[in-house]
């Protein structure tokens, strides 16, 4: 039987605020056969089974790996297991590996690997097998520890519009939408800006910053504050730019603001509603980011994402982020994206309007309404609101020209009646999830004759090149009755250049030792010359000839590492990238100092690629060998 396991992962940064664990590797492992142990872990609370792992702990259970996959931008994933893995519905362990979290982080941060829990799915059988869904959010304690290891810090809170009561106290009247909150670190001689964010439709904000943002020393002769975190004070401006709250620098020296941790819940602010205000401001449609990358300040003129001094090309399904009106305020709007590739002449070709096939299902908000599930009992309900999710009860479609109508629902109702049909709340910044592989998808098959093997260079026809596009966001108002465009309301946000890369290479790895075909985004092939003429099981003694092929148009690095044994290990040969972003070499490795034992030689390849949030995970290949006396059969 085939089993389909679907899940969604997130982490809390504050009690009310969570973020997806996006573009991470999820691994399912077999658990040991101790039934009591399995039952104990499978029934334990996940917060009690969370554990950060080192590389040795991961490699120690490599032989128990069932399957692995990646989460998307919303933290969702799906895996299929069954007879091919000799799996029959039992409990399994769930691990995660990620090399980034939302927001800036330390440039030299290593990937973090952690165990979530041992999980026993509740399978529901159908015609095509069994299905189970699991949703899990890492507790604030542990997710903030992961963020701290990355040097990634966050301040979160909420801003409310308030009116003064007869007692002189501020009484909240609703969320302050579109206010800009700026956080500062109270330094000895100056105030350093940590970051800023705009409140969402529920008044919440998250300010991301890195450890380096508050560890700066203004001048070399000033004393360094030997404390673990910044001293925080804030400034809040309304959508017009007028200040509504400006805290004094001394506020950062108060005990509740001094030396704050990696996840700081600053609390709720109450700001006065302007006397001439007519309720929440009308938000104009606007495109601002690709994932975490601001299209103005963090994407270079050449089209690369800027991440810690590195240039990253974009790949996969990209989260296009910005602002939309909500709840029927203002006139009807519609928006779309257009894309065109630059030709060799430096000019763009014809534009493509991404249709439904190019937009992945995107949750753009929540539909909120009061209902009366039983007589006299009123409950505030909520349902997801989707873009391009056929069959979903609340969804908007993409038309044939790529236009997307901004939802107009604006009837929340009230407790006691009447019931509401729904108010769209924009608690997501997503405009669309753009499937860039529908625009560019390069497939190379290295397994067809003559088959490409490790150590060989690629032919020019097997190499990709730089693909540069112009990506445009367009918006306009429409007539509320006819739906026709309103003259003079058309507006564009243009990203003049964005570099895309979607490649896949089918390759046949080390045919004499655990030979198998696999598909990776780049060429990642490792072999041993001595195994080519044998069964791949003979023991080695003094030297081995290591054969390496590694390539990707946006490769970052390729390196070898050796694991195994119990003593000091010699360093494997150094491999270097050529001008064409390729390694194709045979290197002699002196292994005479190794003690008799089994070893694994690994090839690690990293890429200058991003799916919108940090650098994507590396690819690997490995080959096992033994040193010592004998022919491998004794």
CATH of 152-272, one of 2.40.40.20, 2.40.50.100, 3.30.56.10, 2.60.40.10: 2.60.40.10
Please indicate whether residue 629 or residue 160 has the higher confidence score (pLDDT).
Answer: 160
pLDDT band at 220 (very low <50, low <70, confident <90, very high): very low
d(CA 469, CA 440) in angstroms, rounded, equals 10
DSSP 595-624: PSEEEEEEEEEEESEESSSSBPPPEEEEEE
Residue 480: CB atoms within 10 Å? 11
d(CA 439, CA 468) in angstroms, rounded, equals 12
H-run or E-run covering 4? strand 3-14
Residue 628: CB atoms within 10 Å? 13
Q: Tally DSSP H helices, then E strands, for the chain.
A: 6, 44
H-run or E-run covering 334? strand 333-341
* Lowest mean pLDDT, pick from 155-159, 164-168, 480-484, 621-625: 164-168
Q: What distances in angstroms separate CA 486 from CA 325, 338, 481, one per listed residue?
A: 17, 20, 11
pLDDT on residue 427: 63
Whether 580 shows a pLDDT value over 80: the answer reads: yes
The residues that bridge with 176 in the sheet, in sequence order, are none
Q: Which residues of 323-346 are buried (b: 16+ CB within 10 A; e: fewer)?
A: bbbbbbbeebbbbbbbbbbbeeee
Residue 352: CB atoms within 10 Å? 16
Q: What distances in angstroms separate CA 476 from CA 150, 312, 491, 592, one per listed residue?
A: 41, 32, 6, 71
Two tokens at 367?
Answer: 């539909």
Using omega within 30 degrees of 0 as the cis cutoff, is the peptide bond preceding 418 cis?
A: yes
**Is this model's pTM higher than 0.85 or not?**
no
Residue 115: CB atoms within 10 Å? 21
Residue 406: CB atoms within 10 Å? 24
Output the average pLDDT for the chain: 87
**What pLDDT digit, counting tens, does each position of 591-619 carry?**
999 999 999 999 999 999 999 998 998 99
DSSP 14-67: ETTEEEE--S-EEEEEEPPS-HHHHHHHHHS-HHHH-EEE-HHHHHHTGGGEEE
Instruction: Name the residue ranges covered by the structural domains of the chain.
Output: 3-148, 152-272, 286-500, 503-627
H-run or E-run covering 149? helix 140-149
Two tokens at 509?
Answer: 């790895």
d(CA 36, CA 32) in angstroms, rounded, equals 10
Cβ–Cβ < 8 Å for 462, 549: no
Q: Which residues of 518-544 are buried (b: 16+ CB within 10 A; e: fewer)?
A: eebbbbbbbbbebbbeeebebbbeeeb
Average pLDDT over residues 443-457: 93
By the 10 Å C-beta count (0-12 exposed, 13-18 middle, 19+ buried), 500 is classed as buried
Which distant-in-sequence residues (6+ apart) come within 8 Å of 17 by Cβ? 156, 204, 206
Chain CA centroid to CA 118, Å: 24
pLDDT on residue 167: 55
Average pLDDT over residues 287-313: 94
* Lowest mean pLDDT, pick from 314-318, 425-429, 458-462, 549-553: 425-429
The residue assigned the tokens 């991003």 is 610
Helices in 44-126 by DSSP H: which ranges?
A: 46-49, 55-60
**What pLDDT digit, counting tens, does each position of 95-125 carry?**
999 999 998 998 888 999 999 999 999 999 8
d(CA 82, CA 87) in angstroms, rounded, equals 5
| Domain 503-627 bears CATH identifier 2.60.40 | yes
d(CA 385, CA 200) in angstroms, rounded, equals 16
**What pLDDT digit, counting tens, does each position of 41-55 carry?**
444 445 468 999 998
CATH of 3-148, one of 2.40.370.10, 2.60.40.1120, 1.20.1090.10, 3.30.70.360: 2.60.40.1120
pLDDT on residue 223: 45
Residue 389: CB atoms within 10 Å? 19
Domains 152-272 and 503-627 share a fold: yes
H-run or E-run covering 319? strand 317-323
């Amino acid at each position: 039987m085939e089993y389909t396991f679907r899940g969604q992962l997130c982490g809390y940064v504050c009690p009310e605020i969570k973020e997806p664990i996006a573009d991470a590797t999820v691994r399912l492992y077999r658990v040991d056969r101790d039934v009591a142990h399995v039952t104990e872990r499978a029934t334990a609370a996940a917060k009690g089974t969370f554990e950060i792992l080192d590389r040795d702990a991961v490699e120690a259970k490599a032989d128990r790996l069932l399957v692995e996959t990646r989460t998307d931008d919303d933290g969702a994933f799906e895996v299929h297991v069954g007879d091919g893995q000799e799996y029959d519905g039992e409990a399994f362990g769930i691990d995660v590996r990620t090399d980034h979290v939302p927001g800036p982080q330390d440039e030299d941060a290593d990937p973090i690997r952690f165990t979530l829990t041992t999980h026993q799915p509740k399978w529901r059988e159908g015609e095509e097998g069994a299905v189970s869904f699991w949703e899990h959010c890492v507790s604030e304690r542990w997710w903030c520890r992961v963020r701290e290891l990355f040097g990634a810090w966050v301040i979160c809170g909420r801003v409310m519009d308030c009116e003064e009561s007869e007692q002189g106290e501020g009484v909240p009247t609703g969320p302050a939408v579109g206010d800009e909150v700026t956080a500062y670190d109270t330094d000895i001689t100056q105030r350093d800006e940590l970051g800023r964010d705009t409140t969402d439709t529920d008044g919440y904000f998250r300010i991301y910053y890195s450890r380096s943002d508050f560890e700066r020393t203004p001048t070399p002769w000033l004393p360094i504050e030997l404390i673990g975190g910044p001293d925080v004070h804030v400034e809040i401006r309304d959508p017009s730019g007028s200040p509504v709250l400006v805290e004094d620098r001394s506020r950062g020296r108060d005990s509740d603001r001094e030396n704050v941790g990696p996840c700081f819940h600053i609390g709720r602010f109450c700001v006065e509603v302007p006397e001439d205000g007519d309720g929440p401001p009308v938000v104009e449609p606007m495109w601002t980011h690709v994932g975490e990358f601001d299209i103005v300040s963090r994407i270079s003129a050449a089209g690369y994402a800027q991440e810690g001094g590195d240039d990253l090309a974009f790949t996969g399904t990209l989260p296009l982020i910005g602002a939309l009106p909500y709840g029927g305020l203002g006139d009807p709007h519609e928006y779309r994206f257009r894309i065109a590739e630059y030709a060799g002449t430096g000019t763009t070709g014809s534009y493509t309007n991404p249709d439904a096939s190019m937009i992945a299902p995107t949750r753009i908000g929540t539909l909120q309404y009061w209902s009366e599930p039983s007589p006299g009992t009123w409950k505030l309900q909520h349902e997801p609101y989707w873009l391009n999710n056929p069959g979903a009860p609340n969804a908007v479609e993409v038309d044939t020209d790529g236009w997307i109508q901004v939802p107009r629902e604006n009837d929340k109702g009230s407790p006691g009646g009447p019931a509401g049909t729904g108010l769209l709340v924009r608690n997501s910044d997503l405009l669309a999830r753009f499937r860039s592989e529908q625009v560019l998808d390069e497939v190379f098959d290295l397994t067809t004759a003559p088959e490409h093997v490790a150590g060989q260079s690629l032919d020019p026809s097997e190499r990709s090149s730089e693909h540069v596009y112009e990506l445009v966001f367009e918006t306009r108002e429409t007539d509320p009755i006819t739906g026709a465009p309103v003259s003079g309301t058309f507006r564009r946000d243009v990203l003049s250049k964005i570099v895309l890369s979607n490649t896949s290479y089918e390759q046949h790895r080390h045919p004499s030792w655990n030979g198998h075909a696999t598909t990776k985004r780049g060429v990642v092939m490792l072999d041993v010359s001595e195994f080519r003429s044998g069964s791949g099981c003979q023991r080695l003694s003094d030297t081995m000839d290591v054969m390496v092929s590694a390539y990707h148009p946006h490769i970052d690095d390729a390196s070898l590492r050796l694991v195994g044994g119990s003593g000091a290990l010699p360093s494997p040969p150094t491999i270097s990238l050529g001008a064409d972003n390729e390694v194709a070499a045979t290197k002699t490795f002196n292994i005479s100092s190794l003690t008799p034992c089994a070893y694994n030689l690994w090839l690690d390849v990293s890429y200058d690629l991003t799916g919108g949030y940090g650098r994507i995970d590396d690819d690997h290949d490995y080959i096992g060998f033994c040193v010592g006396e004998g022919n491998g059969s004794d």
